[in-house]
Structures are given as structure tokens and as C-alpha cells.
Amino acid sequence: MSEKLLEKLYRDYIDCLNDRRFEDLGFFVDKDAVHNGQALGVGGYRAMLERDIQQIPDLLFQIELLIIKDHFVASRLRFDVTPNGNFLRLPVNGQKVSFTENVFYRFNEGKIVEVWSVIDKTAIEAQLKF
């Protein structure tokens, strides 16, 4: 797969998340997908996203930076959101927070097979008012 097509596919995946079209998730995510070392499969991956959206109803993935090489995608995602309770064990409770996620994906045959994600928790802590 060309890097051009992989970029299109990745942007379609992000649109799928932002549109909450989880019935399409299996088109983008491998049935044996691994996320931060956990073998979630597409079912577990969907469950993770559904939990995220329950915690953060206005969750919107915004791509800030995209680096694509061979079958790897590196993406810097930006979030401007209002988690409704605890998020990453922080008492956000409906405060608006902005933070980033630096995330790497390995694709195989057009599907995400492995994800390495780090969320900037330090940035969220710095914004919280107690």
C-alpha cells in the first residue's frame, strides 16, 4: 500500500471515530489488534472507544501532525474536550481540558494491527482547578 493511500485510510479511520460509526471499525482495525501491549482485538478496541465516549461525550480526534512511512503511521492528536467525571484518575468533572496524544500505529494489509499510544496527562493536571 502506498503511503498516500495509507494516509487517506488513516484519515478515514479518524472520521469513523468522530462520526461514531463503530460498525465500520472492523474495516480499519484488525481482528487481533494489540493496543499498548493488550491484545484487544476489534471487539475490545470498540469497547475501549465506547468507554472513552461515555467518559468524554464530546470526544473529537483532531490530527495535528502526521508522519507516515511504509506501514507505520505516527500521529499527534489534539483534544479540546470536557470529560464528565474522572479521566485518567483525575477529577476533571466537566472542566474543559486540552491535551495531546502521540500515537504510533502499525498497519498490515490495510488494517491497524498494533498501537502505541501516550496521552499527555501532565498537561491535563496543569489545567485542572480544584
Summarize as ranges the residues that interact with its own copies (CB under 8 A). Answer: 3, 65, 67-69, 72-74, 76, 88-89, 100-104, 116-122, 125
Please give the helix or strand (H or E) that residue 30 lies within, else none: strand 29-35
With cell 502499525, the residue in question is 106
- Residue 17 CB, shortest distance to its own copies, in Å, is 19
Using the 8-state DSSP alphabet, how is residue 22 labeled? Answer: G
- Residue 107 CB, shortest distance to its own copies, in Å, is 12
Q: Based on CB atoms, which residue is closest to its own copies, 20 or 126?
A: 126
Q: Based on CB atoms, which residue is closest to its own copies, 22 or 104?
A: 104
Q: Based on CB atoms, which residue is closest to its own copies, 30 or 114?
A: 114
- Residue 50 CB, shortest distance to its own copies, in Å, is 20
In sequence order, what DSSP letters do the residues of 40-101 get, joined into one string?
-HHHHHHHHHHHHHHH-TT---EEEEEEEETTEEEEEEEEEE--SSEETTEE-TT--EEEEE
Q: Based on CB atoms, which residue is closest to its own copies, 95 or 100?
A: 100
- Residue 57 CB, shortest distance to its own copies, in Å, is 22
CA distance 39 to 114: 9
